[in-house]
A and B are shown apart, each in its own frame.
Chain A
Amino acid sequence: MAGRLELDGDWQRVSTKYVWIVIVGSLVAALISAAIVVFIWFLGDWEWWGWLLVAAWAVGYGCQLVFAPRRARAIGYQMREDDLLIRRGIAWLRFVAVPYGRMQLIDVTRGPVSRSLGLSNLRFVTASASSNVEIPGLPAEAADELRDRLIALAETRRAGL
């Protein structure tokens, strides 16, 4: 498609195991919403709209599961000379560029599922709350290494506030 937004460059992909985190996440969300649907079912008379609700629920989570691998593959990052470029999403595509010098701190977090898969989540915090820069699903050592590299780069390009 001609209108598709694309930025060139050598994209680093996140670990293929990240798919499982997305899948587990959607399954948990599906279970919780299923519980809500069941609760509504017990609550009142089940008419045509109830089945519509169930259909919407099934289609929604079905799509999420089907697209999970593609969503995981769509996440990428590029370490350019002076800034970090991050992409996310397939249908809703978003690119963010953060100059290294703007780094305020870097968070590396691991949830229960990602720990069992040996993955880490890296978050790059700037002084602006809307930056929202996150690279999920990095292998733990790679995340620590990336963090150290980013900190070293930020140190040489410090830009204050």
Chain B
Amino acid sequence: MNPLADGQWHRMHPATPLLRGGAALVAIVAIVFANLRERLVDWIARVPDRTREGDPVDAIVEHGWVLWALLGVLVLVALIVVWYRVTWRMTEFRVTTDAVELRSGVLNRQNRQARLDRIQGVNVHRTLFARVFGAARLEIVVAGHDANLGLQYLGSNAAEELRREILRLAHNSDDPVGRRAPDADRAVLDRESNLDRVLRARADEFLTPADLHPDFAPASVVKVHPGRLIGSLILSPFTIVLIAIVVWLVVEVARGNYFLLVAVIPSVFGMFTGYSRRFSRLARYTISGSSNGVRIGYGLLSTSSETIPTGRIHAVEVVQPLLWRPFGWWAIRIARAGRARQRGQAENAWTVLPVGSLEDVGRVLPLLLPASDRGDLLALVDATAHYSRTAHVFSHAPRAAAWLHPLSWRRIGYAYVGDTLALRAGLIYRTLDLVPLARVQSVAIRQGPIRRMLGLAALAVHVVDVRIRPRLSVIGTRAGVELYDQLARSAVMLASRDARS
């Protein structure tokens, strides 16, 4: 068993105060240095005293306050050090068989608990600064706004090991036999599950040697070439907006409106830095399967590595924007409850494959939906990419749908892969949504006056993340009602089976 996960209270890595306050400290030193630069240069070059108006250092020397000033600085530094030390001493965490607990705060004590059977994923974040010192932040993702529990900082290896341990415990506590049984039966069952646990740990050790060594993470199933990533970032609607702005700017300047240059150019440059930021966030993507779920890593300077238990993936979306079509690129996104709290990582939290070929999609999808048949999944992806009028992989909308979707009506359809619903749509923006029915929150069917005239209905499946909206915008009314009943029934059935199994 991992020494950090023994159920006792533990403290963070002793260097935590330095790492947390590190950036601020560097900034303060830099500011002080920048302000005293001239003085230092003078002093080193032995230039005779120049007079500076209102310089605080001169004022201190003149009044003979040097000693007091030094003492003040010393006291301040000592106070900061003591404060950080106390905060560190007061921050403790423990991992029990039920939950991960964190208590922190000096004046306002805070006790936060993440129940193991509610964990949506475990991430290891390493900022550039922390990477230098071999430290990492462990984040336990649970559903709900700002509900995540962050352990910062731990040693890199300790964080990796603790993550594996937490996921393993979570996997076991998800075993509802132990959770649901009345207390009387519990002791017996617990003993069994302890034995089970030991056996499982042994089996894991033998079956997945790669994942047990933190230094040797399992190889990624896809490789995202940096050139392709840059290409995919450039070929985005954002670029079109940017080009439009630049063209408009050139036209206006040619007509003599020079003041616009001053007003707009800084923000245009800001937009360009947006590219490099996105690139450094999305670069070096790796994805691999592990015994505990899907493992996704990304980041050029600050790196993150997330492990998402496969049962926590609520929907998968495969998309191809129009501009990517000539290159045959696709992206994969997922819906999940709970997100990484790291700044600007909303995009990472739902991007599983930033850009990849059809083969890459075929390699990643089976990892995300292990319950579905691999061959069937590939057939669906193929049918989304290469439409054929004779293929009957997806259902067809009736002809009347052409009034509402003149271009894409033939492509709008659904199919099942095992217990997963697949929805295909779009000619210009091609999408394939895959929803495990056991994760569906609710199902809606609607019909407005136009659809009623055409004998059509629209169907929507609601999942936790509203950015992914799986829907069938046209389907024959009768077929729609049938599908709706079927979905509503199987969603209930599969959800309860999922909770029980």
Contacts and interface: CB of A to CB of B under 8 A. Distances in A.
Contacts of A32: none
B169 to A, nearest CB: 17
Given A7-B481, A82-B492, A161-B337, A95 B441 contact: no
A5 B481 contact: yes
Q: Which residue of B440, B446, B493 has the most chain A CB atoms within 10 A of its CB atom?
A: B446
Interface stretch (B94-102, B148-156, B452-460): B452-460
A2 interface: yes
Interface in B264-297: none
Interface string B470-498: 00000001001100110011011101101
Contacts of B117: 160
Interface in A37-93: 82-83, 85, 89, 91-93
A127 B445 contact: no
Contacts of B446: 5, 89, 92-95
A3 interface: yes
Classify the interface of chain A: helix, strand, loop or mixed. loop
A116 interface: no
Interface in A132-161: 133, 157-161
A129 interface: yes
Given A3-B453, A5-B457, A92 B448 contact: yes
A98 B441 contact: yes
Interface residues of B, number: 43
A126 interface: yes
Interface in B215-231: none
B406 interface: no
B496 A96 contact: no
Nearest to A84: B442
Contacts of B493: 82
A101 B496 CA distance: 8
Nearest to B487: A97
A160 B118 CA distance: 8
Interface stretch (B70-78, B419-427, B461-469): B461-469
B26 interface: no
A94 to B, nearest CB: 4
A16 interface: no
Contact of A96 (B443, B454, B480, B491): B443
B233 interface: no
A130 B462 contact: yes
B449 interface: yes
Contact of A130 (B454, B466, B489, B495): B466
Given A2-B455, A128-B466, A130-B469, A91 B495 contact: no
Contacts of A93: 446-448
A31 interface: no
A118 interface: no
Given A126-B441, A161-B143, 11 more contacts: A3-B453, A4-B477, A5-B481, A92-B447, A95-B446, A97-B442, A99-B440, A128-B462, A128-B464, A130-B469, A160-B117
Interface of A: 1-7, 82-83, 85, 89, 91-99, 101-102, 126-131, 133, 157-161
Q: Which 3 pairs between the two chains have the least Cβ-Cβ distance? A: A3-B455, A128-B441, A159-B495
30 contacts: A3-B454, A5-B477, A5-B481, A6-B481, A7-B481, A82-B489, A82-B493, A83-B492, A91-B448, A92-B449, A93-B446, A97-B444, A99-B492, A99-B495, A101-B495, A102-B495, A126-B442, A128-B441, A128-B463, A128-B466, A129-B466, A130-B460, A133-B442, A158-B499, A159-B495, A159-B496, A159-B499, A160-B117, A160-B498, A161-B337
